[in-house]
Every structure is written in structure tokens, then in C-alpha cells.
Structure 1
């Protein structure tokens, strides 16, 4: 998992390595790197990463499920647990709600970093094909 002080390769909208005009790979660091890592993990099924079988949120498990209170609770619990694994996030501040909208599921998440009063928000949209994470 990437932390707040890490650097990684910048990925474009198609999750390919972003290139500068000269062809070199671009880098991302700090908060942008941290949120890129969260977006990647949210879109990954648990167990897909061969060296860390717990990495991945497996949110696509919830597509085709009934819209009921138990399913919404399962979704929000999974998101909370996965975010709480990140030592930079104050787990007491993680709040999540899930809402079904026809064939899609929307998950709204807010949290704070330890020692910081600023609230960060994520909006996660799930449909039959993909998971999209928007940092607000």
C-alpha cells in the first residue's frame, strides 16, 4: 500500500503508465500517489495481487445483489475495513453510505488523516463492468 510520502508511476485514465512528451514515465507522489493507490485497490478483486492476497476491495461482488439493508451494510463495512488498514487514516472518522440506483451502486465515503482536521471524500460508482472512484 502506498503511503502519504511514497512515489509511484503515474497512471492515466486507462490505467496505463502515463508518459511525458519525451517518452519518459511520469511519477506521482504524496497525496496524489495515496489516492491513486486507493483507486487501484478499490477496483481490484481481493486476491488478484499475487504478493498480497488481502489487497483489493472486491466491490464487484455486490453487483446483481438485492438492494436491502444487509447488502448496503456489507458494502459500507468492507469499505471501512479496507480503508482502516491504511495507517495514515484515522479509522474513527471513516463514514460510508451505499445507495442502489437501478443497475449501479453508489458508495459515498469520508475520512480524515490522523492529526489532520481536513475531511476527504470519495465517491465510488459500481456497475456491471467497472468500479470508478472519484476523489473530492
Structure 2
């Protein structure tokens, strides 16, 4: 899991490596790296990475589910648990809402960093084919 002081390879909106003019891969660090890591984890199923079997939100588990209060609570708890694992995030600040819109499940989460008033909003949309994650 990347933290606020880490550096990684910058990925574009299509999850491809961003190349510099000289052909080298561009890097991302600090807050951008941290938020990129959250986006990648939200797209990942648990067990997909060999170094951490619990990394990944496994949101595709909810794809063919019927909307009900128990399902909404399960999704909310999964998102809260995954975000709260990150020591940089204030677990008390995590807010999540879920909407079922035709063939799309829209998950909107927000959180603040520990000892900060900065709020980050993360939107995740699930449809029958893919998961899309956007930082707002």
C-alpha cells in the first residue's frame, strides 16, 4: 500500500504507463501516488496481487446482486474497511453512499486525512462489464 511519502510509476486514465518525451516512465509521488494507489485497489479483486492477499476491494462481487438494505450495508462496510486500513485516513471521516441506477451501482465515498481538513471524494461506478473509479 502506497503512503503519502511514496513514489510510483504514473498511470494515465486508461491505466497505461505515462511516458516522458525521452521515453522514460513518468513518476508520481506524494498525494497523487497515494490517491492513484487507492484507485488501483478499488479496481482490484482480493487475491490478485501475490504480496497481499487482502489488497483489493473485490467490488465485482456485487455485480449481479439485487438492491436491498443488506447489500448496501455490505458494500458500505467493505469500502469503509478498505479505506480505514490506510493509516493516513481518519476512519471516523469515511462517508459512503450507494445508488442503484438501472445497470450501474454508483458508490460515492469521501474521507479526510488524519490531522487535516482536506476532504477527498472518490466515485466508483460498477456496471456489468467494468469498474470505473474517479477522484472528484
TM-score band w.r.t. shorter chain: over 0.9
1:50 corresponds to which residue? 50
* SS of equivalent to 1:92: helix
Distance 1:129 1:22 in 2: 36
Distance 1:118 1:21 in 2: 33
Q: Where do 4+ consecutive residues of structure 1 move more than 6 Å?
A: none
1:18 corresponds to which residue? 18
1:128 corresponds to which residue? 128
Distance 1:6 1:130 in 2: 28
1:68-83 mapped onto 2 (5 Å cutoff): 68-83=68-83
Shift of 1:95: 0.8
2:117 corresponds to which residue? 117
RMSD: 0.8
Give the alignment's TM-score, normalised by structure 2. Answer: 0.97
Aligned residues: 136
1:6 aligns with 2:6: yes
Structure 2 residue runs of 5 or longer lacking an equivalent are: none
The Cα offsets for residues 42-94 of structure 1, whole Å up to 9 and x where unpaired, read as 00000000110000000011111001111111111100000000000000110
Shift of 1:22: 1.3
Q: 10-19 or 35-44: which moved more?
A: 10-19
1:76-115 mapped onto 2 (5 Å cutoff): 76-115=76-115
Shift of 1:14: 2.0
Distance 2:42 2:96 in 1: 14
Structure 1 residue runs of 5 or longer lacking an equivalent are: none
Give the alignment's TM-score, normalised by structure 1. Answer: 0.97
Shift of 1:19: 0.4
Distance 1:44 1:129 in 2: 14
